[in-house]
Amino acid sequence: MFFETHFKVIISCVILLVVLLIIRYIVLILVKKIGRKSGINEARIHLIQRYSTVTLFLIGLLFLSVILGAKPQDLALVFSSVFAVIGIALFAIWSILSNITSGVIMFFSFPYKVGDKISIHDKDFPIEAVIEDIRAFQLHLRLDNGNLVTYPNNLILQKAVTLVQKDAIDDGHDAI
């Protein structure tokens, strides 16, 4: 009796799940291909894959609520309330969100890779260093004197950067 009454809803939910899994699979493959083609390390590829999975999950919840009969007015009320609370919370941590967003942008369009020596043109604190790691929130830069500098992702996108030397990290192999 239950399945007969709710057959269309169950089928719609199953179709939604299958479609979201297919889209997730395609997105994960594309992100991995783009990351490997660009020479990005595996940790950053996995980070972007997690971001895309969470985004698809949230979109799936939205569609699921519509399938289960939520009215647009109710959804608007819930989402506006949730976004108001999230907005207030994120206002306090806006720089973290800014760095995460910058990290995603850098994944797709940052022209420098781990091992490159760059010069950051900052009038207060100019830096010339080798990129040691690119993380979700910051770059790890190794100065010539051996000091490690963490530089926020959102600032690296705001400053002029020059490539000084490609693949400056010595990998232990001497050229003959």
Structure-model confidence comparison of residues 39 and 18, the more confident one: 18
Assigned token pair, 1:
């009796």
Q: How many CB atoms lie within 10 A of CB 154?
A: 21
| Residue (of 41, 25, 171, 29) closest to 106 by Cα position | 41
Can you name the CATH fold of 108-165? SH3 type barrels. (2.30.30)
Distance CA 39, CA 134 (A): 12
Flag the least confident range among 19-23, 127-131, 164-168: 164-168
User: What is the three-class DSSP state of 78?
Assistant: helix
Q: Is the pTM of this model over 0.75?
A: no
Report the distance separating Cα 21 and Cα 29, nearest Å: 12
Contacts of 40 (CB under 8 A, 6+ apart): 107, 113, 134
Q: What is the pLDDT of residues 26-60, one digit of tens each?
A: 999 999 998 888 888 888 888 889 989 999 998 99
pLDDT in tens, 93-146: 777 778 888 888 887 878 888 889 999 998 888 899 999 988 888 889 999 999
Q: What is the distance between the alpha carbons of residues 106 and 117, in angstroms, rounded to a whole number?
A: 17
Q: What residue ranges do the domains of the chain occupy?
A: 2-70, 108-165
